[in-house]
């Protein structure tokens, strides 16, 4: 949670100052530290990990986006979530990305009846929606990738071959189970060309930020270029900034122990809700349903949060629900399909 002058300063009169970020509460080994700073940079990644299926780390749960929004900074374009069409589906294991170049080399997408249902060379978003529709219609948890047409897979795609071997899969004899997965999030904390947010004293770089470079969808490795350019620009801008010297209040702990069963159940509700209603294919009805679910979930978690001893999982859950609700509201405002936002 970010330290803001009008909320967390030890001097009550500082609430009359123009809001300014002056550091953050940092959780370390169960303790919450109050860390003041002239300039603060968010580099916390995106929020694709909030979805049931995600190609990135599950720690990508929007911590920076939620912190910035709660502190009063502008967030933007959260409805733009890119989905990769093919990740390896192994129950109980993280999703591993299987490159789209496989289909370019002849791999075929098949349903559970071994039937083709989409042009494998169609754009990523089209293929993802086709897989989503096929899974919904068949009530199956995955579709399949036939890699047998690729004769030299070990040479051209050695990393894919290694991943399959690690999971006990023989692509020469069996079909490979795949599902689409949330891949990259274009929305985030708004920044200018120097990485500065609308909150003085706060910068953002990387996937947590929305610089406008991607627009409604991301092209290939443009995100790497963005991180390098805006990381450097942010650092230069931060070095020249001098804010008010402020002192932050100590964190006030709750007294009740966290019920881990409730936390895990809430995570399940959040991820299922986003995947089913705010995922690859959206509709006004689905988004309205998600809004109601997340509103109730947010209220319950906020009460839980105030009373309980803080844990990393509870903290991430509260931030994740906030970002999920923001994503729903952003998607509801976007009435037409554009980029990665597809509304039926």
What residues are annotated to the active site?
A: 124
CB atoms near residue 81 (< 10 Å) = 27
Pairing of strands 188-190, 81-88: unpaired
Task: Give the C-alpha separation, 139 to 133, whole Å.
Answer: 10
**Bridge partners of residue 81, in order along the sequence:** 185
136, 176 contact by CB (below 8 A): no
Q: In what order do the strands lie in the sheet with 2-4?
A: 2-4, 21-28, 31-36
Nearest to 188, CA basis, from 161, 170, 154, 214? 214
Residues 48, 49, 54: CA angle, nearest 5 degrees: 80
């Amino acid at each position: 949670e970010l330290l803001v002058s009008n909320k967390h300063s030890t001097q009550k009169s500082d609430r009359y100052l123009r809001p300014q970020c002056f550091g953050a509460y940092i959780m370390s080994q169960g303790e919450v530290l109050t860390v003041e700073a002239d300039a603060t940079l968010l580099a916390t990644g995106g929020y694709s990990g909030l979805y049931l299926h995600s190609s990135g780390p599950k720690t990508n749960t929007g911590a920076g986006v939620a912190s910035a929004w709660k502190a009063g900074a502008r967030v933007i374009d959260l409805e733009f979530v890119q989905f990769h069409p093919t990740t390896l589906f192994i129950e109980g294991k993280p999703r591993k990305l299987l490159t789209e170049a496989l289909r370019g080399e002849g791999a075929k997408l098949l349903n559970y009846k071994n039937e083709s249902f989409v042009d494998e060379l169609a754009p990523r978003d089209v293929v993802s929606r086709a897989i989503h529709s096929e899974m919904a219609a068949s009530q199956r948890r995955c579709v399949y990738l036939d890699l047998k047409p690729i004769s030299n897979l070990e040479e051209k795609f050695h990393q894919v071959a290694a991943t399959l071997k690690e999971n006990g899969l023989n692509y020469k004899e069996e079909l490979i189970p795949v599902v689409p997965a949330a891949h990259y999030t274009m929305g985030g904390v708004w920044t200018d060309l120097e990485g500065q947010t609308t909150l003085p004293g706060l910068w953002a770089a990387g996937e947590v930020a929305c610089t406008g470079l991607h627009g409604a969808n991301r092209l290939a490795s443009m995100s790497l270029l963005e991180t390098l350019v805006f990381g450097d620009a942010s650092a230069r801008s931060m070095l020249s900034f001098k804010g008010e010297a402020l002192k932050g209040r100590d964190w006030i702990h709750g007294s009740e122990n966290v019920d881990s069963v409730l936390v895990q159940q809430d995570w399940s509700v959040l991820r299922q809700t986003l995947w089913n209603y705010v995922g690859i294919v959206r509709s006004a009805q689905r988004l309205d349903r998600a809004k109601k679910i997340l509103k109730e979930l947010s209220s319950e978690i906020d009460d839980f949060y105030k009373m309980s001893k803080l844990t990393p999982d509870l903290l991430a859950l509260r931030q994740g629900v906030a970002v999920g609700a923001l994503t729903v509201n952003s998607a509801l405002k976007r009435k037409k399909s554009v980029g990665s936002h597809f509304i039926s």
